[in-house]
Amino acid sequence: MGGISSGFGAWNPIAWALLFVGILAAGFIVRSFGKKEYKRGTGQTKVFLSGNEEPEASAALHVRGRHLYWGMVEGLSGYYRRVQALHTGVLSDYAAWFIGVLGLVFVILVLVR
Amino acid sequence: MTALTNHAPVLLIAIPLLGAFGVPLIGKLGRGARNTFVGLIALITAAFAGLLAATVFARAGAPGLYVLGGGGFGVPLPSGLSVPIRIILEADGMSAFMALITALITLTGAFFSFSYWKDRSGGTLFYSLLLLLTAGIFGMELTGDLFNFFVFLEITSIAACGLIGFRVWLKNAQEAGFKVMALYTLSGLFVLLAVGLLYGQYGGLNIAYLASALTGSTIDIVALGLLLTGLALKAGAVPLHMWAPDAYGEAPAPMSAVLVANSQASLYGLFRILFTLFGLTISVATLGWILVVLALLTIFVGVTMALIQNDIKRLIAYSAVSQIGYMLLGVGVGLTVSVAKPDYGFVAMQGGIFHMFNDAVCVGLLFLVGGVITRAAGTRDLNRMGGLAHSMKWTSVLFIIGAFALAGVPPFNGFASKFLIYEATFRLSPILAVVAILSSILLLAVFVKVFQAAFLGPRQEGIGGEVPAGMMVPMVALAFVIVAFGLFPGFFIDKIVTPAANALWYGRDAYIGLVLGGG
Amino acid sequence: MNIGNLPFVVAALLVVLGIYTFLFKRNLIKLVIGISLVETGVNLFLVTLGYRTAGIAPIYTFAPEAERMVLPTPQALTLTSIVIGLATTALLLSFAVFIHRHYGTLDVRKVKELQG
C-alpha cells in the first residue's frame, strides 16, 4: 500500500520508512552490546585533537558560508566566470536576452514548422 | 450547497478581490479587525478552492463551465456554427490542481504575515496587495478566455511588483521592483500582441473556440512564439530568469512564496496554451524539445548559480528557479512524445505536474524559514550568521525537512515527483535524467551550505531566539503537508495529479467539446 | 501594397521603436517611454484589427440603415489595455522616483547592485 510505480520502477515510502526504522533499531541493538561503564565528563569522553587543547567556542571558529564549497567553485571557475559575468544586473541586458530568445524561437519554429 | 458549488469558480476570483478592496475599509477599525478580516477571506477562499477541487476531481478531472453573466453563451451563425461570446471560466483537472496549490500557499503566506508584519506599518496595503495577487492568480488558473488570461496576468504583475518594492526604505527592493515590473510589462505586451494576432485571424478569444479553429499557419506560429517566450519569462526559465533572484530575494519573506505561486500560474498558462490551445496543430516534437532544452538550462544554471550566493534569500530564489526547470522538463518530455503517446510520456507529465505542487510547498517552507533566519540573525548575509540551531531547534528541523524535500531525498514528496521525472525522462534521452539527478545532488549541497552557515557553529551572542507560534504554525503546516505527501504519494497521485495530467494529455477534445458542443 | 495595411505597418514600427528604446537607452525614464511606445503600438494594432472598410462606429442609437459597422470587441480590448498600461506606467515611474531617491542616479547601467 502507498506505493507508486513509474512503469519501470516502483517506490514505496512506507516500506522505505519501515526499513529505515528497522536499520536504526538494529544499529541501536548492536550499540547496546557495548561497554556501559564509563564516566561522563571526565577525560574518557573528551574530544581528542592530537593532544591539543579544545579551543573556546567563539564565533571566530565558525566556517562561514563562502568557504564551504571553495574547492568545487574553484574547479568550475571557468564556467562560473563566464556565467556570472552574464548576470550583469543591467535591465537592458535582461531585455536583450528576452528579444534574443524570442528571435531564436521564431527562427526555430518557422524553419522546422 | 449546489449553488455554492456551481459558483465556486467565480467566487474564487471574486472573494479575494472583494477582500482586497475591503481591507482598507476594515483597516480603519484597527489591526485586530483587519487581520481577522484577511484571515477570514483567506480561509473562505481556501475552502472554495477545496470545494472546487473536490467537485472537479469527483468527476475525474472533466472540465466544467461557468459563464460570467449566466445564461447561454453561444451565438448561432448563419453557417450553423455556434460562436461563444461571453467570458467563460472553464475548470478542468489541471485548473483545480493549480487552484489547490495557490490556496495553500496564499493561506500559509497570509497567516505567516500576521506574525511577521506585526510590528510594522503599512500592513493594510500589504494585505490588500496580497489579496489582489491571489485574485489574479486564481483568475489566470480558471479562465477559459485568452484576453481574460492577459488581464489577470497583468493584475498579478502589478500586485506582485507592488509587493516586491513594498518596503520603500530598502534600496535594493526598489531596483528589483523596477526591473521586474519592466520585464513583466514587456512580456505581457507580447502576450497581448499574440492574443491580438489570433483574434484578428480567427475572430474569437475563447480558448476552446480558437483551439478548434487553429490551422497552424504562419501567423499562428508567430503568436505561439510570442506566447511561449512571454510566458516563459514570467515563469522564470533560463536565460529569461535574471529577474527572479531579484524579485524573490527582495520581496518580504511570506510574499516570496506567493510569487513562486505566481510563476507557476504562468507556467500553467504556458501548458494550457501548448496542450489545449495549440494541441497537435503544430510540430510538437520541435516545441517539446525547445521546452526540454530550456528546462535543462534552467535546472543546471539555477542550481550552480545558487551555490555561489552569499545572500540567503537570493540563494533560495535561485533554487526555486532551478525547480521550475524540473516542471518544464517533465511536461516538455510529455509534449515531445504527445503524438505517439507512449506510457513514459504520461509518467513524465505526472512527475512534472506533481513537482509543481511539491516545489510550491517546499520552496514556500524554505522562504518562510529564510525569513525567520533573516529576522533572527538580523542580516541576510550567509557569512555573518551562525549558531542559530542552539536557540532555534524547531526551525532547524523544519529547514532540514524543506531542504531534503526540495533536493529529492526520500521519503519526502520531492523524491516521489523527481523519481517519476528521472525514470520517464531517461526513456527519451539519458542525458536529461543525468542532468536532473546531478542537479538534485548539487541542490542538496547548496542547502548543506546554508545549514552550515546559518545553523551550525558556536552560539553567537545577540542573535537567535525561537520564533513565536504565529510564525511556527504555518511552517509546521507546510512541513506536515510535505511529510504527508511524501509518505502517501500513491494516494495523492491517483486522486489529484493523474486527473490534472489527463486533462492536459487527453483532455483537449473534452475541453473544446464542452464549449462548442453546448450553449 | 494595400493602403489599408498602413496602420499595421505603423503599429509594427511603433513596437520596434519601443523595443529599440528599451534596449539601447540608458535613462530609466526613457526605458519607461520605450515600454509606453510598445504598448501604443500594440493598442494601435488591436484597434486596427476591428476596422471594416467603410464601416461606421458600432453604436446602434440613430445608426444609419444598412451600414456596415466596425467591430466593437477590439475597441473594448484596447480600452482595457490602455487602463492596464496606465497602472503599469504609474508603478514603473514611482519605482523610478524611489530609485533616484536611493541611488542618486537614473542610469540603468549604474543601478545594478543586484547582480550575479
Mean pLDDT in residue range B432-443: 94
SS3 B66: strand
pLDDT at B184: 97
**What is the distance in angstroms between the CA of the first residue and the CA of the last residue of chain B?**
24
pLDDT band at B519 (very low <50, low <70, confident <90, very high): very low
Contact across the interface for C88 and B147, Cβ inside 8 Å: no
pLDDT at B98: 96
CA distances from B114 to B45, B371, B375, B379, B469 (A): 17, 13, 15, 21, 11
**Best of A66, A79, A82, A90 to mutate (most C CBs within 10 Å, chain C):** A90
Mean pLDDT in residue range B480-498: 93
Rounded Cα–Cα distance for residues B399 and B370 (Å) = 9
Contact across the interface for A108 and B290, Cβ inside 8 Å: yes
Overall domain count for chain B? 1
Instruction: Inform me whether the pLDDT recorded for B111 exceeds 90.
Output: yes
Contact across the interface for C23 and A96, Cβ inside 8 Å: yes
Instruction: Inform me whether the pLDDT recorded for B434 exceeds 70.
Output: yes
Rounded Cα–Cα distance for residues C102 and C115 (Å) = 17
Mean pLDDT in residue range B123-150: 94
Model pLDDT for residues C33-77, shown as the tens digit of each residue: 999 999 999 999 999 998 888 888 888 888 888 778 888 999 999
Of A87, A92, A95, the CB nearest to C116: A87
Contacting residues of B for A2, CB less than 8 Å apart: 487-491
Q: Which residue segment(s) compose the domain that B304 sits in? A: 283-487
**Cβ distance B126 to B117 under 8 Å?**
yes
Rounded Cα–Cα distance for residues B321 and B300 (Å) = 10
Contact across the interface for B196 and C92, Cβ inside 8 Å: no
pLDDT band at B474 (very low <50, low <70, confident <90, very high): very high
- Neighbours, chain C (3 or more CB pairs < 8 A): A, B
Nearest C-alpha in B relative to A102: B229
C110 part of contact set with chain A, CB < 8 Å: no
Angle at B403 between CA B397 and CA B409, to 5 degrees: 105
pLDDT at B204: 87
Tell me what percent of the residues of chain B surpass a pLDDT of 90: 74
Contact across the interface for A89 and C22, Cβ inside 8 Å: no
Angle at B244 between CA B238 and CA B245, to 5 degrees: 110
The single residue listed with the C-alpha cell 551562525 is: B386
Model pLDDT for residues B326-362, shown as the tens digit of each residue: 999 999 999 999 888 898 999 999 999 999 999 999 9
Model pLDDT for residues A31-52, shown as the tens digit of each residue: 999 888 877 777 777 778 888 8
Domain assignment of residue B376, yes or no: yes
Model pLDDT for residues B274-330, shown as the tens digit of each residue: 999 998 888 888 999 999 999 999 999 999 999 999 999 999 999 999 999 999 999
**Best of A91, A98, A102 to mutate (most C CBs within 10 Å, chain C):** A91
Contact across the interface for B185 and C92, Cβ inside 8 Å: yes
> What single string gives the DSSP state of each residue in B14-39?
HHHHHHHHHHHHHHTT-HHHHHHHHH
Domain assignment of residue B364, yes or no: yes
Contact across the interface for B411 and A91, Cβ inside 8 Å: no
pLDDT at B166: 92
Residue B90 pairs with which residues in a beta bridge? B65
Which residues 236-275 of B are in CB contact (within 8 Å) with C?
A: 245-246, 249-250
Instruction: Round the average pLDDT of chain B to a whole number and report it.
Output: 91
* DSSP conformation class of C104: S
Instruction: Inform me whether the pLDDT recorded for A84 exceeds 60.
Output: yes
Nearest C-alpha in B relative to A107: B225
C-alpha cell at B197: 494576432
CA–CA min distance A1, chain B (Å): 8
C-alpha cell at B295: 528546462
CA–CA min distance B249, chain A (Å): 14
Task: Tell if the pTM clears 0.90, that is, is over it.
Answer: yes
Domain assignment of residue B400, yes or no: yes
ipTM value, please give it. 0.96
Nearest C-alpha in A relative to C111: A90
**Cβ distance C22 to B186 under 8 Å?**
yes
pLDDT band at A1 (very low <50, low <70, confident <90, very high): low
Peptide bond into B252 cis (omega under 30): no
Contact across the interface for C114 and B171, Cβ inside 8 Å: no
**Cβ distance B16 to B155 under 8 Å?**
no
Phi, psi of B61 (to 5 degrees): 80, 10
Of C19, C111, C115, the CB nearest to A99: C19
Q: Which domains does chain C have, with CATH numbers?
A: 3-103 (1.10.287.3510)
Angle at B258 between CA B255 and CA B262, to 5 degrees: 130
Of C25, C26, C112, the CB nearest to A89: C112
C37 part of contact set with chain B, CB < 8 Å: no
pLDDT at B283: 85
C-alpha cell at B136: 489574479
Q: What is the bridge-based pairing of β-strands B64-67 and B88-91? A: antiparallel
